[in-house]
Amino acid sequence: MDNQGGNQIDEVVQLALFRLGSEEFVIDILKIQEINHMVKITELPDVPHYWKGIINLRGKVIPVLDLRKKFDMDSKEWDKNTRIIVCNAEDNVVGIIVDEVDEVLRLNRSTIEPAPGIVTSCNTDYITGVAKQGKRLLIFLDISRIAMETQSVVKSQSQSRSFESNVKEKNSISASLTIANDAGLERRTIMNSIELIVTKLKEVTHKLNENTGELVSASNEIISCAQATVKAAEHMSELTNIQTNCASQVSTTVEETTTAFTEALKTSGDSTQKLAEMIKTIQAETKSAMESMEAGIKIVYKSRDMADKASSSLNEAVSMSEQAMDVVEQIDPSSTHKVSQPAAV
């Protein structure tokens, strides 16, 4: 699919995704008129093999194609998932039978790439592009081309009048065009649309429930974090009060310690000064006593010297007295009885 014009680069398109076997196809949701469960299809002769027939949709005859047969894929029995997608491409209305309508998705047009040579088992002439979503490959079906080709067949059949005659020849078609059947088809169509909407709503509700669970978990985690934050704030407030009290006590203790230290220094200074004065006094008295002692020792030494000298003088005097007595005896021996000898010192 071509991306012409800068205004289409970021355009978001809504697509209806349907399956044929293992392959996933998408159609622009703006080209889809409605999606129906399988209804009675009136077969027609002399039409291409992939034509399943026609249906009456609110009084309008709609040609229905079996997309599996058109793409030469293996046949598959219809089941509860089989759907008829009624498409309106440029006023060309056609119904296509698909295995299953899966989902409605949104896609950036800029992600759509041209179709490569071989991407699917179907005819690549009916593919306008591809888009990748992870491992998924989405194939864009050219529903406009299919609708135009179908209308060409209808016109050719109308011109030969074989188309109208074939319609008139079939009693089932006449019966399908009755008011009762028309109303029943309309009701079934509405019910099918409602069922599709309900299915989508269930899917959305399921996703919302999953997201709600995640949101609840996230909310619980946020609440837990908030509670933990409040507790941490309370604890921080308590710590701040304790820190303030401790700081106040430390400040008081510092002031008291500073005062005591100052007083101690002052007292110590006074005591030190007094002690220094006492030491100076003691040193002075000790010096004086030492001087007195040294003077006394000198006097003692002098007295001893004087005593030694006196003793020597006395000894000399005694010696001289003895010598004198000897001289006297020699002169007058009788005088020894008159003079007593002095005691030796």
Q: So what's the pLDDT on residue 239?
A: 66
The C-alpha angle with vertex 231 and arms to 228 and 237, in degrees rounded to 5, equals: 140
Q: What is the pLDDT of residues 22-64, one digit of tens each?
A: 899 999 999 999 999 999 999 888 888 999 999 998 888 999 9
Q: For residue 310, is it within any domain?
A: no
Q: What is the pLDDT of residues 264-318, one digit of tens each?
A: 667 666 777 887 788 788 778 778 878 877 887 888 788 788 878 878 888 888 8
Q: So what's the pLDDT on residue 25?
A: 94
Confidence of residue 5 (pLDDT cuts 50, 70, 90): very low
Q: Which of 17-31, 34-48, 69-83, 219-233 bottoms out in mean pLDDT, i.e. has the lowest? A: 219-233
Distance CA 344, CA 51 (A): 185
Q: So what's the pLDDT on residue 216?
A: 67
**Above 60 in pLDDT, residue 124?**
yes
Distance CA 157, CA 165 (A): 10
Q: What is the pLDDT of residues 79-111, one digit of tens each?
A: 999 999 999 988 899 999 999 998 899 999 888
**Above 90 in pLDDT, residue 182?**
no
Residue type, 109: R
Q: So what's the pLDDT on residue 303?
A: 75
Q: Report the percent of the chain where pLDDT is more than 90.
A: 25
52 or 2: which leads in pLDDT: 52
Q: For residue 204, is it within any domain?
A: no
Regarding pTM above 0.85, the answer is no
281 alpha-carbon distance from chain centroid: 82
**Above 70 in pLDDT, residue 233?**
no
Phi, psi of 296 (to 5 degrees): -65, -40
81 or 250: which leads in pLDDT: 81
Distance CA 122, CA 137 (A): 14
**Above 60 in pLDDT, residue 261?**
no
Distance CA 195, CA 227 (A): 46
Q: So what's the pLDDT on residue 176?
A: 44
Q: So what's the pLDDT on residue 165?
A: 52
Distance CA 166, CA 145 (A): 25
Strands 32-37, 51-57: pairing is: unpaired
Question: b or e along 52-81 (b: 16 or more beta carbons within 10 Å of the residue's beta carbon)?
Answer: bbbbbbeeebbbbbbbbbbbebeeeeeeee
Per the CB < 8 A criterion, the answer to whether 96 and 64 are in contact is yes
Average pLDDT over residues 145-165: 74
Confidence of residue 8 (pLDDT cuts 50, 70, 90): very low
Distance CA 48, CA 67 (A): 12
**Above 80 in pLDDT, residue 118?**
no
Q: So what's the pLDDT on residue 305?
A: 82
Residues in the chain: 345
Q: So what's the pLDDT on residue 227?
A: 73
Nearest to 19 by CA among 191, 141, 194, 195: 141
Owner of token pair 């996933």: 24
How would DSSP label each residue in 277-343? HHHHHHHHHHHHHHHHHHHHHHHHHHHHHHHHHHHHHHHHHHHHHHHHHHHHHHH-GGGGGTSPPPP
The domain that holds 72 is classified in CATH as 2.40.50.180
Q: For residue 69, is it within any domain?
A: yes
Quote the tokens at residue 201.
């709503």
Domain with 145 in it: 6-177
Confidence of residue 202 (pLDDT cuts 50, 70, 90): low
What total number of domains does the chain contain? 1
Q: For residue 126, is it within any domain?
A: yes
Q: For residue 145, is it within any domain?
A: yes
Q: For residue 147, is it within any domain?
A: yes
Distance CA 66, CA 237 (A): 76
Residue type, 299: I
**Above 50 in pLDDT, residue 337?**
yes
Q: For residue 182, is it within any domain?
A: no
Q: So what's the pLDDT on residue 64?
A: 95
Q: So what's the pLDDT on residue 310?
A: 78
Mean pLDDT of the chain: 76
Q: So what's the pLDDT on residue 181?
A: 44
